[in-house]
Structure 1
Amino acid sequence: MTAAHTPDGLRSDSGAVGAAGTGEDRADAVRLLEMEFGELFTHVRRMYAEMANRLSPGMLPGAYKVFTTIARRGETTLSSLAELLHADKGQISRTVRELEELRLVQRAPDPADGRSSLLTATESGLERWNAARAPHENSLLTALETWQIDDIRELTRLLHALSTSASPRG
């Protein structure tokens, strides 16, 4: 097995090491993964900023994240949203008001709790969101067009395992 060094001085083994690699191999592999995540996060932040601006000129990426979370969940409460995003309830409340003013989000009484409201994306908001993210969806399709579908599914499975702290082996 050969080892290559990255410009940052980290080793990258070519060939499969498996779970039996040394502690140094594992530490090097994790450092390389962290480095790639840093690059990916930078790309995603830039992409969120572009999509936020397409959704509503001047919208900040944080507001875009709040909107997309509401849209993906279908409906949610302010408290659930703040908990899910690990954010201050007051800040989430201000952001939701901004989204309401932009007619991206609407409130309705929560039938399960009269003191609370259910937040949902408006039809117009969903249409604008689809238009805002279409260019990036196409670029991801293009970036992955040479990948085998099984590789895409495997990456998805591994990312899910990582995000839920589950073993990738099941």
Structure 2
Amino acid sequence: MDQSAREEPVNPEPTEPESFDPEFLDLERELAVFLRRARATSGELAREVHPDLEPAAYGLLTRLAHVGPQRATELAGYFGVGKATISRQLRALENVGLVEREPDPADGRAWLVRLTEEGQVRFSLVRQARRRSHRSRLASWERSEIAELARLLHRLNSAE
């Protein structure tokens, strides 16, 4: 038998199961656009806070502003990244004076990470600008539509 007859194609055509709903294809496409835009926006927002920051830094600042001081391991768990990754990102934020570490009062061996005053001010200014942008983009939406979008995104983010 000829060897080439047994080889599988290098780039086979992707196939969709016949039972796959078009709604899920639409969702996949829209989520992909949303995620691409979110990544680009995170990079822009991080650079607005400080020009040396990576895109992931904005998410860390958001989390610390929302929940207050946290251990690095808690942050790593929340974002689903390893401790080495979160340590590197926190070190970058610490190096530019946006976060600092303080002893954990519940465990003297552990450290909490918190926003510095400078970090709070810079983050707050960028967050206010971002909120104005959201209001502008959604100006033609009904408040009930905005609430429904928030509710559905929360449901999606909470699903396991």
Structure 1 length-normalised TM: 0.77
C-alpha deviation, 1:67, in angstroms: 2.5
Matched, 1:39 2:33: yes
- SS of 1:109's partner is strand
C-alpha deviation, 1:151, in angstroms: 1.1
CA distance in 1, matches of 2:111, 2:27: 41
Deviations 1:29-81 (A, max 9, x none): 11101111111111111111111111111311022222322222211101111
Identity %: 35
CA distance in 2, matches of 1:157, 1:44: 18
What corresponds to 2:73 in structure 1? 79
Pair 30,48 (structure 1): closer, same or farther in 2 beyond 3 Å? same
- SS of 2:87's partner is helix
What corresponds to 2:131 in structure 1? 137
> Which amino acid letter does the alignment assign opposite residue 145 of structure 2?
D
Q: Stretches of 4+ moved more than 3 A in 1?
A: none
C-alpha deviation, 1:150, in angstroms: 0.9
C-alpha deviation, 1:165, in angstroms: 2.2
Q: 1:47 touches 1:136 (CA, 8 Å); kept in 2?
A: no
What corresponds to 1:116 in structure 2? 110
Q: 1:48 touches 1:64 (CA, 8 Å); kept in 2?
A: yes
Q: 1:107 touches 1:117 (CA, 8 Å); kept in 2?
A: yes
Pair 97,58 (structure 1): closer, same or farther in 2 beyond 3 Å? closer
- SS of 1:115's partner is strand
> Which amino acid letter does the alignment assign opposite residue 143 of structure 1?
R
What corresponds to 1:17 in structure 2? none
Greater Cα radius of gyration, structure 1 or 2: 2
Which of the residues 60, 72, 83 maps onto 2:54? 60
Structure 2 residue ranges without an equivalent (≥5):
1-17
Q: 2:103 touches 2:111 (CA, 8 Å); kept in 1?
A: yes
What corresponds to 1:96 in structure 2? 90
- When the two structures are aligned, how many residues end up with a matched partner? 144
Q: 2:70 touches 2:113 (CA, 8 Å); kept in 1?
A: yes
> Which amino acid letter does the alignment assign opposite residue 106 of structure 1?
E
CA distance in 1, matches of 2:126, 2:144: 28
RMSD of equivalent CA atoms? 2.0
> Which amino acid letter does the alignment assign opposite residue 90 of structure 2?
V
Structure 2 length-normalised TM: 0.81
Structure 1 residue ranges without an equivalent (≥5):
1-23
What corresponds to 2:15 in structure 1? none
